[in-house]
Amino acid sequence: MRIARELIDEIVAHAREEAPNECCGLIGGADGRAHRIFRARNSEASPSRYVVDARDQIRIIGEITERGEDLVGIYHSHTRSAAYPSQTDVNLADGWPDPLYLICSLSADPPEVRAFAIRDGAIDEATLAVEDG
């Protein structure tokens, strides 16, 4: 996925604002490029798991569709662990095999954002091409 540095910065800012709880959101885009970050509420309000608020999910998917884009990514933060999917993350991905999963780790300094394809329980790291400007 190609993504602008400013969108990565938005994810990191969201993660920092929600700490110590995990943050979450959706990413709209097309043709392998992220265009926009959509913040969502974590209905779990938890430092160890996230669930995108159902109302936010419906609203955001509607906005992405209206823009003629696709859901290209789902992001969340790990406040105390590495930017790698947990078993809980793998289980949550079960209904959404197409978008990439971006994880922002606040345990790294500076924070680290990595992307993964999670399909049928398998985790494959995806290339995250961060573009300046």
Domain containing residue 46: CATH number? 3.40.140.10
Split at pLDDT 50, 70, 90, the class of 47 is: very high
CB count, 10 Å around CB of 19? 14
116, amino acid identity: F
Q: What is the pLDDT of residues 87-128, one digit of tens each?
A: 999 998 988 878 999 999 999 899 999 999 999 999 999 999
Q: Average the pLDDT over each of 48-57, 59-68, 93-102 and give the range with the smallest value.
A: 93-102
- Range of 44's domain? 2-131
Residue 71 backbone class (left: φ over 0; alpha: ψ -120 to 50; beta: rest) = beta
22, amino acid identity: E
Q: What is the pLDDT of residue 95?
A: 82
Q: What is the pLDDT of residue 96?
A: 83
Residue 120's alpha-carbon distances to 39, 50, 97, in angstroms, are 26, 20, 8
Question: What CA–CA distance (Å, rounded) separates 16 from 12?
Answer: 6
Split at pLDDT 50, 70, 90, the class of 9 is: very high
For 69, phi then psi, to 5°, come to -110, 180
Question: What CA–CA distance (Å, rounded) separates 91 from 35?
Answer: 27
Q: In the chain, how many domains are there?
A: 1
Check pLDDT > 80 for residue 2. yes
For 75, phi then psi, to 5°, come to -120, 155
